[in-house]
Structure formats: structure tokens, C-alpha cells
């Protein structure tokens, strides 16, 4: 049964009056408004396949179909900017891949007005301070993230180069909101170094406070009362986080640095041990500790050479609006990832999610193009614990692109990963991979193109001969494009050397194929997709934010439209 959330009805009526009432006002006063929007819909048709683990969820067992849809409208007139978004979730597994959710309502609304040097916004707001270390309210639909701040924001332009802003409210929780409150403020500016702008500074400073409500505090106290005295602590209602950041541009160099501190905060540490009253010890419990994080990025470009160096040290900077929510729910802030964002199917199989409790990490990316025919790339990432004693993740990534003629584009390379499965997936042991890959594109004519992607992944358990996750893989994809409307793809991910043990027989699993077929059609601002998919389970990441995706078997239909 769907639920339409009653608290959104007055908002819907108010904004509908704005949108629908604009026509007579335009005719009477000669004003002209601007209406734009977008629509997105996804439909999953589930087909049970217990051989790949696509089973034992509501979608496969009884519902068979699940969908999501978003209709977004933005309107500008009379000096106002306003918007409303309608959300629909029908047997959706977006929020919980192993479950199902139904809901209908207003997913977002906002009204913005500029009055002189003031910018005023009310409703559900997206914003961030600096790179997001202490605060970031944003949307990432593929990962089911929409942590808009439900409240108000005021910004004042002190000069052309300086602005101060303040905001406050409660964080969105699907169609509801979390009870703890959040407020913050920031001052940002621009300092031109000289008249020729050969160097400049873009400094900023910000602060955020999260305050627990009484009901959440009662939950925290109830949990602490189950701990032994050695694990107990006195929780605090308020936690403050402050950050200082700056971007320096000087010639060919760009240097960004940001440091943040967080006062004592209650959060769940999955690695902390809990001493139970019966004498047993379990892992994971609430703790109360301050935190800090330091992040920096240095870029250099000249001619055909580009170099980016990044580093980050994070200590106890898990910042949630509610300590009892986990994974991607209730995040107040955003910590930049310290591993390469890979796009090819097998190179992206294992991802290093940001470790909020603690990590020391760095990476370097080098790109060099000596001429129009060749381009080379090299990336190195390494993530360790706070004491730089235990290795969590390492990646070496090499590629070369060759363009012998205008019609051809040939990329080939190799990736090596060292991956701590316990840290990132809760599985014992360390995984090592070697993945050679290639991407060949050929332009047949002005409107027809062919692309081939091929790769192989060879896995091994570091230091032992024991079984390793799923084992070894082959992947191939063929894509045919007829511009501007059609794209056809066929691919297969083949687990040709499986290392998993069948729990029923005790033998190794049989080799298995994961085929996929896609048809995409585009016309103007509209795009339609139809896919048949068999997909292995794994960790899916977008911009360093990761979540577990179970195996999928069935059909996917999608639509996107802008107007």
C-alpha cells in the first residue's frame, strides 16, 4: 500500500497555486515566466535465478516488478525561483537492495528570492561548505542518496568577491526528516594576486553544529546502559565541526588544502569491541570521540603533461545526523575518495570506500600526450590505517591511447589491485588482482560507430593458496551506434575459473555467464533504455561513495526526459 505523506500536502497546494496561477498574471501584467523540468523513470522486472544469488528477496519471491519515478519542475517569474519534485517508489529496492519500499509524495520543494545583496532560500536545500568535509547536502540517485536540508538558507554578498551564508534545518529522510537539527555558516572569498591574475587565493571558513533531540538522546542512553562500565560514556547533545580551506592558483599550479576538526561526537565504530555483561566480547558499538581530517590536492599542467597529487588523513570523522543509521543514510558530510574512479566493468569490480573511522591515503595521476597520435596515463593509489602500518588498498593503473587515423581510437592498459576484503566487505583475507583491458573504437561513417571493450581479471589471495572471492573473470562488450538515435550493446561477464565453494555440495561452483543486452534510443531531449541483465553481486561506487548491490536477473526499462 502506498502512503502519501500528509505534511507535504500544504506545500503541494502552495506551489501548484504558483505554477497554475502564473498564466493570468502573465497575461495581465505582461510578465514572462520560464518553466523547465525533467522526468526519470526506472522499472525492474525480476526473474528469479538462484544460481547467481538472484533470489529470496521480495522482488524475486512475490512482487516481480519494482519501479521509481521522479518528476521535477522549476519555475522562474517575478524575481522568484521555485521548484517542486514528485517522487514515486513502487516495490522499489533502491533504498534497501534486499528489501522493498513503497511511497508517494513530494520529494523536494524550494523557493528562492534575491533581494539586493541577499539570497534567501526556503524548502529542501542542496549546498556544501568547502569540499564537503563538514557539510554536504546533495543528491546521488544511483546510490539512493538525497540528504537535502529541510530548512532555510540566507547568503549575503559583502562585495563582488566575498560572501557569507548561514543555514539551518533538519535532514531529509525520504519523505520525512530526521529529528536532530543541523545549522551552519561559512565565509568564502576571492583574493586576486595582481592585476594580471597570475596568482590568486580563494579562502573559506565554515562551521556546522548538529544537535540531538530528546528522543534520539534517549535511544543513545538506552544503548549505553547495556554496556559494561569500561565501555560506557556520557553523551553530549551538541557536536560542532569547523573547517578552514583555500585554493591557490599560481601559473600552472593549483593547490587546494582543507583541514577540519570535530568536537566529541557519538557515532558507531564497527571495529570497536563491546564487552558484554556475560563476559563475551562482540564487535561494533557506540563511542564518543572527537575527530579530524586533512585533505589536499596539488595539480600541475603544461603542454601535454598533467599531474595531480592528492593526500588525506582521516581520524574518527564519521558524522551522522543520527548515530543509529548507517551505510549511506544520514550523512552530514562528504569525505573525498582516495582511489581512482574506474569506469570499465572489471577494473571497477573492487572499490575502496572511504574509511570514516580512520585512514591515511594518497594518490597520484599523470597524463602525458606527446603528439596527436599518442597519450599515456599512470595512476597510483595507496590507503593505509592511521598508523601507516596496515595496508588497506593499493592500485597501479597504466594505460595508453593510440589514434593511428581519425577513424580509430585504441586504448589498452593494465590494472593491479591489492584489496583488504575484511575492511571493505567484511570478508576475511586480502585480495590481489591483475586486470589487462582494451577499448577499441572505430568510426564506420559519419553516423555509425563500433566499440569493443575486452578485459580479463585474475585474482589471488595474498600469501596463501586459498579460495578467492568469485575467482577469475573475462568480460567482453560490443557496442554499435547509429547517431543520433540508436545504440545497441551486447556483453558477457564470464566467471570462467570460479573459486567459490557450493555450500550444498562442498565442490567448486560451475563456470557461469552473466550476459547483458541493451537498446538505447534518443530523440531530442528524451532517452529510452531497454535491457536484459544478469549481474553479479558486488560493491558499486559513485565518486567514492559505495554501497552493496545484490545479484540481479531480469529486465530493466528506463526513461529520461528534459523539457
Is 264 part of a structural domain of the chain?
yes
pLDDT of residue 198: 84
* Residue 199 falls inside a structural domain: yes
pLDDT at site 13: 47
Contact between 420 and 391 under an 8 Å Cβ cutoff? The reply is: yes
Average pLDDT, the chain: 90
pLDDT at 21: 47
pLDDT at residue 464 in the model: 54
Of the pLDDT bands very low, low, confident and very high (cuts 50, 70, 90), residue 469 is: confident
Q: For residues 52 and 536, is the Cβ–Cβ distance under 8 A? A: yes
Task: Please compute the mean of the pLDDT values over residues 538-551 and round it to a whole number.
Answer: 76
pLDDT value of position 530: 97
Provide mean pLDDT across the span 224-235.
92
Give per-residue pLDDT as tens, 349-380: 998 989 999 999 999 999 999 999 999 999 99
What single string gives the DSSP state of each residue in 388-404?
Answer: S-SEEEEEEEEEEEE-S
H or E segment and range at residue 80: strand 80-92
Is residue 43 very low, low, confident or very high in pLDDT (cuts 50, 70, 90)? very high
Q: Is the pLDDT at 465 greater than 50, yes or no? A: no
Mean pLDDT of 483-493: 96
**What integer pLDDT is reported at residue 214 of this predicted model?**
96
149 inside domain? yes
Q: Is 200 inside a domain boundary? A: yes
pLDDT of residue 215: 95
Instruction: Determine the pLDDT at residue 288.
Output: 95
pLDDT band per the 50, 70, 90 thresholds, residue 503: low
**Span 25-38, mean pLDDT?**
66
Kindly tell me if the per-residue pLDDT of 22 is higher than 50.
Answer: no
Q: Is the pLDDT at 332 greater than 50, yes or no?
A: yes
**Does residue 367 fall inside a structural domain?**
no
255-299 confidence digits (pLDDT tens):
999 999 999 999 999 888 888 888 888 888 999 999 999 999 999
Is the bond into 484 cis (omega within 30 degrees of 0)? Answer: yes
Band (104; pLDDT cuts 50, 70, 90): very high
> What percent of the chain is modeled with pLDDT above 90?
75
191 inside domain: yes
More confident residue, 27 or 173: 173
pLDDT at 26: 39
pLDDT at 10: 46
Where in the sequence is the domain holding 301, given as residue range(s)? 116-336
Task: Summarize pLDDT for 425-435 with one digit per residue, the tens.
Answer: 888 888 899 99
Asked if residue 150 belongs to a domain, the reply is yes
DSSP string, 198-216: SEEEEEEEEEEEEE--HHH
**In this model, does residue 191 exceed pLDDT 70?**
yes
Chain CA centroid to CA 404, Å:
37
Domain count, the chain: 1
Tell whether 173 is covered by a domain: yes
| DSSP letter (8 states) at residue 184 | E
d(CA 305, CA 377): 10
Residue 223 is given by DSSP the state: H
SS3 of residue 510 by DSSP: coil
Owner of C-alpha cell 548515530:
323
Amino acid at each position: 500500500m502506498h502512503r502519501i505523506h500528509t505534511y507535504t500536502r500544504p506545500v503541494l497546494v502552495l506551489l501548484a497555486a504558483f505554477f497554475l496561477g502564473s498564466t493570468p498574471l502573465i497575461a495581465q501584467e505582461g510578465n514572462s515566466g520560464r518553466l523547465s523540468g525533467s522526468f526519470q523513470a526506472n522499472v525492474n522486472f525480476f526473474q528469479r535465478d538462484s544460481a547467481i544469488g538472484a533470489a529470496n528477496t521480495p522482488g524475486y519471491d512475490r512482487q516481480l516488478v519494482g519501479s521509481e519515478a521522479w518528476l521535477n519542475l522549476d519555475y522562474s517569474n517575478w524575481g522568484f525561483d521555485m521548484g517542486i519534485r514528485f517522487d514515486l517508489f513502487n516495490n522499489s529496492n533502491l533504498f534497501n537492495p534486499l528489501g522493498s519500499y513503497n511511497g508517494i509524495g513530494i520529494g523536494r520543494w524550494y523557493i528562492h528570492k534575491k533581494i539586493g545583496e541577499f539570497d534567501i532560500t526556503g524548502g529542501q536545500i542542496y549546498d556544501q561548505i568547502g569540499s564537503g568535509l563538514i557539510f554536504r547536502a546533495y543528491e546521488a540517485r544511483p546510490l539512493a542518496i538525497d540528504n537535502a536540508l529541510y530548512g532555510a538558507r540566507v547568503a549575503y554578498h559583502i562585495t563582488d568577491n566575498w560572501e557569507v551564508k548561514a543555514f539551518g534545518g533538519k535532514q531529509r529522510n525520504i519523505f520525512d526528516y530526521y529529528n536532530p537539527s543541523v545549522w551552519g555558516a561559512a565565509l568564502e572569498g576571492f583574493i586576486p594576486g595582481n592585476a594580471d591574475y597570475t596568482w590568486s587565493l580563494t579562502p573559506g571558513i565554515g562551521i556546522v553544529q548538529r544537535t540531538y533531540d530528546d528522543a534520539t538522546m534517549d535511544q543513545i542512553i538506552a544503548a549505553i546502559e547495556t554496556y559494561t562500565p569500561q565501555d560506557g560514556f556520557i553523551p553530549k547533545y551538541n557536536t560542532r565541526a569547523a573547517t578552514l580551506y583555500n585554493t591557490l592558483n599560481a601559473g600552472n599550479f593549483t593547490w587546494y588544502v582543507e583541514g577540519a576538526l570535530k568536537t566529541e561526537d557519538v557515532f558507531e565504530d564497527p571495529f570497536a569491541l563491546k564487552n558484554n555483561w556475560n563476559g563475551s566480547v562482540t564487535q561494533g558499538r557506540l563511542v564518543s570521540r572527537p575527530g579530524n581530517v586533512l585533505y589536499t590536492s596539488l595539480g600541475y599542467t603544461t603542454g601535454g603533461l598533467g599531474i595531480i597529487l592528492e593526500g588525506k588523513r582521516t581520524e574518527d570523522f564519521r558524522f551522522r545526523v543520527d548515530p543509529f543509521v548507517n551505510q549511506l543514510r544520514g550523512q552530514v558530510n562528504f569525505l573525498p575518495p582516495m582511489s581512482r574512479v574506474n569506469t570499465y566493468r572489471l577494473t571497477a569490480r573492487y572499490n575502496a570506500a572511504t574509511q570514516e573511522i580512520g585512514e591515511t591515503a594518497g594518490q597520484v595521476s599523470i597524463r602525458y600526450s606527446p603528439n596527436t597520435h599518442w597519450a599515456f596515463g599512470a595512476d597510483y593509489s595507496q590507503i593505509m590505517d592511521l598508523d601507516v602500518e596496515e595496508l588497506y588498498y593499493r592500485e597501479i593503473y597504466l594505460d595508453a591511447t593510440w589514434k593511428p587515423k581519425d577513424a580509430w581510437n585504441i586504448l589498452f592498459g593494465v590494472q593491479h589491485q591489492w584489496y583488504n576484503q575484511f575492511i571493505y566487505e567484511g570478508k576475511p583475507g586480502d585480495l590481489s588482482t591483475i586486470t589487462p583491458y582494451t577499448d577499441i573504437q572505430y568510426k564506420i561513417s559519419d553516423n555509425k560507430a563500433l566499440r569493443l571493450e575486452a578485459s580479463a581479471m585474475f585474482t589471488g589471495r595474498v600469501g596463501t593458496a586459498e579460495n578467492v572471492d568469485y575467482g577469475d573473470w573475462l568480460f567482453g562488450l560490443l557496442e554499435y551506434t547509429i547517431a543520433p538515435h540508436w545504440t545497441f550493446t551486447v556483453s558477457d561477464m564470464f566467471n570462467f575459473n570460479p573459486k567459490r565453494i557450493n555450500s550444498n555440495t562442498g565442490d567448486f561452483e560451475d563456470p557461469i555467464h552473466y550476459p547483458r543486452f541493451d537498446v538505447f534510443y534518443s530523440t531530442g531531449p528524451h532517452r529510452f533504455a531497454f535491457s536484459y541483465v544478469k549481474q553479479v553481486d558486488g560493491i558499486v561506487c559513485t565518486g567514492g561513495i559505495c554501497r552493496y548491490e545484490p545479484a540481479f536477473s531480469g529486465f530493466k526499462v528506463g526513461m529520461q526526459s528534459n523539457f
